[in-house]
């Protein structure tokens, strides 16, 4: 009886996969920004470098977002700051339009949720910021559930 109860808890806690959730967040961010480019940028603990993670970039990348991010210094700007970053769309300079907002996470030093490829306004910045806040909480909760499931597996091993 105890074993079945613990097993049910493990199954309940294991339903949400953090990587799946990250993918959903990125797709939602792209929709909020009205674009097909979005992702996360994770800043290293020394705040010297930011790298793209879970990026949604079309195969053809007709706007050249990936190359622009690597060459423009925007990732360095993310690494050394902690505020939202908005780069206006300017085709003459190759800037595709970019908006990044910090994601509040207790388990990481600094992560940004970003969108690119549009003319972003204060409205998109506000909406993306709210999305980042909600998703930060959901990601933390998901990781907490994963840790709880791991602990319950050891309980289950001794009650089976």
Check which CATH number belongs to the domain holding 75 and give it: 3.30.450.40
The total number of structural domains that make up the chain: 1
Neighbours of 70 (CB within 10 A): 12
Cα–chain center distance at 128:
11
Q: Note down the domain range covering 85.
A: 2-159
pLDDT digits (tens, 9 = 90+) for 128-143: 999 999 988 888 888 7
pLDDT digits (tens, 9 = 90+) for 72-87: 999 999 999 889 999 9
Predicted structure pTM score = 0.82
Q: Which residue has the tokens 């970039």?
A: 57
As a whole number of Å, the CA-based R_g of the chain is 19
Neighbours of 155 (CB within 10 A): 14
Q: How far is 11 from 86, CA to CA, in rounded Å?
A: 42
């Amino acid at each position: 009886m105890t074993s079945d109860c613990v097993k049910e808890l493990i199954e309940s806690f294991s339903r949400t996969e953090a990587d799946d959730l990250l993918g959903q967040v990125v797709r939602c961010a792209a929709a909020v920004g009205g674009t097909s480019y979005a992702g996360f940028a994770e800043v290293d603990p020394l705040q010297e470098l930011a790298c793209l993670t879970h990026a949604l970039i079309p195969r053809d990348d007709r706007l050249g977002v990936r190359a622009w991010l690597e060459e423009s210094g925007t990732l360095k700007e993310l690494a050394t700051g902690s505020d939202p970053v908005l780069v206006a769309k300017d085709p003459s300079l190759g800037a595709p339009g970019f908006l990044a907002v910090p994601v509040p996470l207790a388990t990481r030093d600094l992560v940004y949720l970003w969108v690119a490829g549009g003319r972003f306004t204060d409205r998109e910045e506000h909406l993306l910021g709210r999305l980042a806040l909600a998703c930060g909480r959901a990601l933390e909760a998901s990781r907490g559930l994963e840790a709880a499931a791991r602990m319950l597996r050891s309980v289950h091993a001794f009650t089976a």
